[in-house]
Structure 1
Amino acid sequence: MQLLLEDLGHHVVNLGPCISQDEIVESCCKYQPDLLVVSSVNGHGFHDAEHLVRALRTRWELAGLPAVVGGKLGVRGAEGQDGHRRRLLAAGFDAVFHDEQGLGPFEAFVTALATDRTPPAPAGPREGAAR
């Protein structure tokens, strides 16, 4: 994930695996990232992510922080994915990506997010304006 985000032109602060919920929330307050990406590979990501995003959304300074989660979120494969997705979105995530989808939808989300945050170019001098 880090390499993909860096290839897309983003600076990444990788907190590493098995980081506590409190440390993630405090790091977001400290670094003020443009996006929080939570990735799970062990099949237990759903429960941890749900608690994390609820804690994140209690902090006023992180209210507008886009947050996404993806990877192996459960141990039942495709069964339960829709339920996981609905609950994680209701808890406060902006997007949920399951490992079976591949990286395409995630990459499209990140690209769209960067486009939405790009400030408009300053207007040039108007025709006929004094210089």
Structure 2
Amino acid sequence: MDLAEPVSDRRGLDIVVTSLASDAHTWNLVYLQLFLEELGHRVANLGACVPDDLLVAECARRRPDLVVISTVNGHGFHEAKRVIARLRARPELTATPVVVGGKLGIDGPGGLDRAAALTAAGFDGVFEDGGALAAFRSFLARLPVGVRS
């Protein structure tokens, strides 16, 4: 199956792609942006080292259909928990789907424990293992367009 098969039967999603405040990596963000755009979605890429306040403000302003947080520096688990609390504290963002993926810890994929903790903290999806891209694509296909309209 081609993971970048375009969306054909509906209008694409408005998606914010971002990293966390301590993560200076950019290739993961470029890859995600291109992948999502190939699928027919519109992407606002906030870039690397995004401060929590900026992420929350941009999401409140843009009201995206989805927020995708990508991290590869190994500190994602702890930072993601802090960021999702900030996003969910804003009434206009409580229903916005938010996912996180990449290298969330320095000890390798955290399995169900890390995913369960992040889901309990407020994430709608956690994509960390080897099949993450296919699982992420499946997640995208289930999202309704205009979640925040």
Normalising by structure 2, what TM-score? 0.73
**Higher RCO (CA < 8 A, seq sep 6+):** 2
- Tell me the alpha carbon deviations over residues 10-30 of structure 1, each in whole angstroms, 9 at most, x when there is no partner: 110000011011110100001
Give the 5 Å matches for 1:32-43.
32-43=63-74
Which residue type is aligned with residue 142 of structure 2? A
Alignment match, 2:140: 110
Give the 5 Å matches for 1:71-90.
71-78=102-109, 80-90=110-120
Question: What is the total number of aligned residue pairs between the two structures?
Answer: 115
Give the 5 Å matches for 1:86-97.
86-97=116-127
Tell whether 2:97 aligns with 1:66: yes
- Tell me the alpha carbon deviations over residues 42-72 of structure 1, each in whole angstroms, 9 at most, x when there is no partner: 1111111110001100100111100000011
Structure 1 SS opposite 2:45: coil
Tell whether 2:24 aligns with 1:24: no
Point out the structure with the larger helix share. 1
| Structure 1 segments of 4+ aligned residues over 6 angstroms from their partners | none
Q: Using the TM superposition, give the Cα deviation of residue 117 of structure 1 relative to its aligned residue in structure 2, in angstroms.
A: 3.2
Normalising by structure 1, what TM-score? 0.83
Point out the structure with the larger strand share. 2
The RMSD of aligned alpha carbons is 1.3
Gaps of 5+ in 2: 1-31
Bigger radius of gyration: 1
Gaps of 5+ in 1: 119-131
